[in-house]
Amino acid sequence: MAAGESSLEGMTLEDFPELKRLSPRSRLKMAEELWDSAASDALPVPAAHKALLRGRRAAYERGEIGTLTLAELKRSIRRRP
């Protein structure tokens, strides 16, 4: 095992059958806790992602692109196949 790697690396939900027995609400809470813990680890943002965001912000500031309200975004997502 490489330095910094956990013995849990590469495991899937199938490796934790007790999690599959949790109620949907409990599984969602667990997923939220896992997500929050990953977010707090401050994973580095790839340079390509930063460049893409800079480009989109510049386009927005030039008036080339706009924004959506939350309601518009939800409608757009629901229309997707």
User: What three-state secondary structure class fits 64?
Assistant: coil
Is residue 1 situated within a structural domain? no
At 20, list the tokens: 């599959």
- How many Cα atoms are found within 13 Å in the side-chain-facing hemisphere of 8? 4
Residue with tokens 């490796």: 15
Burial of 27 (0-12, 13-18, 19+ CB in 10 A): middle
Q: Which tokens is 41 given?
A: 């680890």
Number of domains in the chain: 2
66 falls within a domain: yes
Per the confidence metrics, is the pTM higher than 0.85? no
Structural domain includes residue 2: no
pLDDT, tens only, 48-76: 999 999 999 999 999 999 999 999 999 99
Mean pLDDT across 38-49: 82
Domain interval for residue 52: 47-79
Q: For residues 35 and 18, state if they share a domain.
A: yes
